[in-house]
Structure 1
C-alpha cells in the first residue's frame, strides 16, 4: 500500500499494542490498492521473542464458518435440507422437532450455550489440557428449556454449531475434521489450516495468554485443549490461509449460488441495528463478511468487504479481558477507519 496508508496502519497497530497490553498482533490487508502485512509485538512475554507473520494461530469461532460451509455443501449435494428438524439427525434436543438446521446455523434456535454452564466452566478449568467429546458438551444443556421460540430471535450459542457438526458426521459417515479437510481445505489449497483433535499445535506459533483461570490471574494457554469448542471453535490457521478463506467464504466459492444467497441473508443482532447481522455461520458488520473468534490465549478476525474487494485478517495472542482489550475496538475498528472509512467494523 502507499506510504501514507502504511504509516497510518503502523501507527494504529503500535498504539493498540502499547495501550491495551495485547502482547502481539499479526495483521494482513489485501485489496486493489495493494497489500499490507505486519507482525508487531511479542510472541512470548518471557523471552521477548517477536511475533512473526507466518505463525499458526488458534482461530476460535472462525471455525464456525468451516462447519456451516460443510453443512451447506451437504445441502447442495441434496443430502439434507436446511429446513429439516435437528431431531431427524440428533436425538435428545429440547423441542428438536421444531428447531431447523437453518435456525441452528443462523443462531436462532433458542438453545442455551453450554459455555455459560457453571458446571462446564468448573470442569474445563479443572483440566484445561483435557478433552471433551461433542456429546459431553451438549450434555451440559441437554435438559434445559429453550430461551425463546425457535426462529424469533438471534442469540449466539456455541451449542448450535456443535449440533451441526454432529449432523455433518452422521450424514457423511466421516469425522468433521476429515470432511472439512477434504471438502474445504484441500480444494482451496489451505495447507496450513487444520482441525486438531488434541491440544497439538503446529510450529511455529506464539504463546497465548488468558485470564480465564480459576482465580483470574494470567496464564499461558498455548497448549490448552480446544476440543471444548470442537465444531464451534477448535481450528488452527495462518494469516496466509485466512487470506484465502475470507473472500472464498464471502463469495461462496464452494457453494451453489442459491445456497450462498440464503447464507448471506442476515438477521440483525440487536433490534433496529441493521448494520450488524448474522447469516448462516457468518457475520455481516458494516459490509464486512466473515467471523471473529476467541478462545483462551487467542483472538481473531477474518473478513472480506465485497464492495471494496478488501480482505482483512487480524490475529492476536491474548484474550485477557480488560477495559480496552476488545479486539474489535482496539485494532479492527481503527484499522477500518483507515482503509474503509465508509465501512467501519465495530
Structure 2
C-alpha cells in the first residue's frame, strides 16, 4: 500500500474510533419479526459505505437464531458464520469488568480501592480515582486514543507491539479531564489501568486471569487474548475500512491489538460472544451483591452508541429501547463494529457484528435502528 494511502487509511480509522458517542432513542417498531430484521440487515449491507457483511444472533429458550447478509470476505462468497473468529473491540471491556467484579466478590479488591493504593507508580494526579469510577467511566482519566503520542505511534508503526506501560506512557503527563466522579467520560485508559490493577493484586497475568475467570467458566473455547498475534485464527471474518466509492480495504491485521490490551484486544466468535454476555448477566463470574453495584447507572453512551437510550454501569451499559431493556456493550476496532447484550437474568442474548470500522452519521443511525429491531425480535420470541 503506498505510503499516502497507508496514512490516509489509518487516519480514517482513528477518526472513526474517536467519534463521539451520541445518546438518543433509536427509531424502531414495537413488533419486529426475524424477517423484518433480515430485511434490515440486507439494507444495511446495500447502503453506500455500508459493511461488506453482517451477522446477528438471537438466543432464547436454548435456541439460537442466526441472521446474515453480505460476505465475511469480499474476495469469496459466504456470509459471516457463528463460528468465525473476529475482533470483539470494546466489548472486551465487559470481560474486563467481569474479572474486576469477580475479584471484588472474592475480597481481593474493593470498588472503593484507588489507583494510589493499588498502583502507586502511576501519576499522582490519578491517585484518588477509584475502581468504581474507572468501571463506569467517571474517572476523568485521559483517553489515550485522543493523545498525540498514540496517534503518532499508530500512524508511523501500526503493527508495533506495545506493552501496557507504553499505553500509560502516552497519557502519563496529561492532567485529568475532570474531577473524579463529577461526570461521565468514556476512556479506554480506564480499562488498561483496571487490567494492571488485577495483575498487581493477584500476581497473575491479565491474559491468564481472563482464561481462569471468564473463558473457562463460560465455556468459551474459541475466545482468546492474542496481543502479540496480528492475524486471526481460521476461519475468520475479515475486517474492512469502507469509503463510499472505493473498494473495501482489508484491515484485519493492519494494527497491532497490543495497543488495545485490556480495553479491546480479545478475539472471539459470534457464538462465544453471545455465551459470554449471557454468563455475565447470569452471575457466572460474580454474585448478586456485585451485580447490584454493577447496575447502578449514570447517563453515558458506549462507543459507538448502542440502540435506544444508553446508560453506563460497571463494565456494561443499559440500553432502553421501545421494546424493552437489555444490558451489554458495543465496540469498534479497525475493521469491526460489535454489540452484545442480554436480558437482566441472562436468559436471552443478542449480538450484532459488522465487518467495517465504526460507522458515523446516517449509517450509524441505521445500524442503531437495526439493533433496536434485533431487541424487538429477541423480546417477542
Deviation at 1:33, TM superposition (A): 10
Q: Quick check: 1:107 aligned with 2:166?
A: no
The question of whether the paired residues in 2 share the 8 Å contact of 1:165 and 1:176 is answered with yes
Q: Which residue of 2 aligns with 1:71?
A: 100
What whole-Å deviation, never above 9, does each CA across 1:15-63 have from its counterpart, x for those lacking one? 1111252100111001249642023211222344543332111000111
1:321-336 aligned within 5 A: 321-326=359-364, 328-329=367-368, 331-336=370-375
The question of whether the paired residues in 2 share the 8 Å contact of 1:25 and 1:317 is answered with yes
Whole-Å Cα distance in 2 between the matches of residues 173 and 248 of structure 1? 25
1:21-170 aligned within 5 A: 21-32=50-61, 35-90=64-119, 91-170=121-200
Q: Which structure would you say has the larger RCO, counting Cα contacts within 8 Å and 6 or more residues apart?
A: 2
Whole-Å Cα distance in 1 between the matches of residues 221 and 76 of structure 2? 29
- Aligned with 1:27: secondary structure? strand
Q: Quick check: 1:243 aligned with 2:270?
A: no
What whole-Å deviation, never above 9, does each CA across 1:208-253 have from its counterpart, x for those lacking one? 11269xxx99632111311111000000111111121112112322
Q: Quick check: 1:312 aligned with 2:350?
A: yes
What whole-Å deviation, never above 9, does each CA across 1:286-345 have from its counterpart, x for those lacking one? 12101111000111111012389431011111115453332742631333354458xxxx
- Aligned with 2:181: secondary structure? coil
Give unmatched runs, 5+ long, in structure 2.
1-31, 302-307
Whole-Å Cα distance in 2 between the matches of residues 292 and 49 of structure 1? 25
Alpha carbons of 1:257 and 1:335: their partners in 2 closer, same or farther (altered >3 Å)?
closer
Whole-Å Cα distance in 1 between the matches of residues 210 and 101 of structure 2? 12
Alpha carbons of 1:165 and 1:104: their partners in 2 closer, same or farther (altered >3 Å)?
same
- Picking from 209, 229, 235, the partner of 1:204 is 235
1:258-337 aligned within 5 A: 258-269=289-300, 275-286=309-320, 287-306=325-344, 309-319=347-357, 321-326=359-364, 328-329=367-368, 331-337=370-376
Whole-Å Cα distance in 2 between the matches of residues 296 and 200 of structure 1? 13
Alpha carbons of 1:143 and 1:263: their partners in 2 closer, same or farther (altered >3 Å)?
same
Deviation at 1:159, TM superposition (A): 0.5
1:160-199 aligned within 5 A: 160-198=190-228, 199=230
The question of whether the paired residues in 2 share the 8 Å contact of 1:59 and 1:300 is answered with yes
The question of whether the paired residues in 2 share the 8 Å contact of 1:63 and 1:233 is answered with yes
Whole-Å Cα distance in 2 between the matches of residues 72 and 335 of structure 1? 28
Aligned-CA RMSD value: 2.4
Give the TM-score, by structure 2 length: 0.81
Whole-Å Cα distance in 1 between the matches of residues 378 and 212 of structure 2? 35
Whole-Å Cα distance in 1 between the matches of residues 334 and 328 of structure 2? 21
Q: Which moved more, 1:296-305 or 1:25-34?
A: 25-34
Q: Which residue of 2 aligns with 1:344?
A: none
- Aligned with 2:311: secondary structure? strand
Q: Quick check: 1:12 aligned with 2:43?
A: no
The question of whether the paired residues in 1 share the 8 Å contact of 2:92 and 2:265 is answered with yes
Give unmatched runs, 5+ long, in structure 1.
342-346
Alpha carbons of 1:309 and 1:281: their partners in 2 closer, same or farther (altered >3 Å)?
same
